[in-house]
Amino acid sequence: QVQLMESGGGLVQAGGSLRVSCLASGRTFSYYTMGWFRQAPGKEREFVAAISWESGSTRYADSVKGRFIISRANIANTVYLQMNSLKPEDTAVYYCAADRVPGLPPALEREYEYWGQGTYVTVSS
């Protein structure tokens, strides 16, 4: 069992930056691939970014590529999502997810077993 807790959400102006974090507990964090997803009001949850546990390889949605950076600090059991050049359309609840999947980090929700409660990010225009 893995417990995930997101933090760092808030209100930011368009063009600004924000970093959200996800603290994991319960199992050996370094063996878990970590992903970030988001759900905007009235929309389905979508993939944002992911980082593998084996090689540290990363994967990004096209909508955030070049603006967001996912990283992890295994010693701190934490995964981060640095969000730069934020746009109003980035407004959403951001969720972190975890699973022990080999290879490239997946972009599909069904590949992740464990989920946090989410942290809300609002980008004002």
Mind giving me the DSSP string for 32-47?
SEEEEEEE-TTS--EE
pLDDT-derived band at 29, boundaries 50, 70, 90: confident
Residue-averaged pLDDT of the chain: 95
pLDDT-derived band at 66, boundaries 50, 70, 90: very high
Burial of residue 23 (CB within 10 Å: 0-12, 13-18, 19+) is: middle
Backbone φ, ψ for residue 18 (5° rounding): -155, 145
Please compute the mean of the pLDDT values over residues 28-45 and round it to a whole number.
Answer: 93
User: pLDDT value at position 92?
Assistant: 98
The answer to whether 97 and 34 are in contact (CB under 8 A) is yes
Maximum Cα–Cα distance across the chain? 40
Q: Is the pLDDT of residue 91 over 90?
A: yes
Burial 112-125 (b: 16+ CB within 10 A, else e): bebbbebbebebee
User: pLDDT value at position 51?
Assistant: 96
Please compute the mean of the pLDDT values over residues 64-91 and round it to a whole number.
Answer: 96
The answer to whether 52 and 107 are in contact (CB under 8 A) is no
Total residue length of the chain:
125
User: pLDDT value at position 27?
Assistant: 75
Q: Is the pLDDT of residue 13 over 80?
A: yes
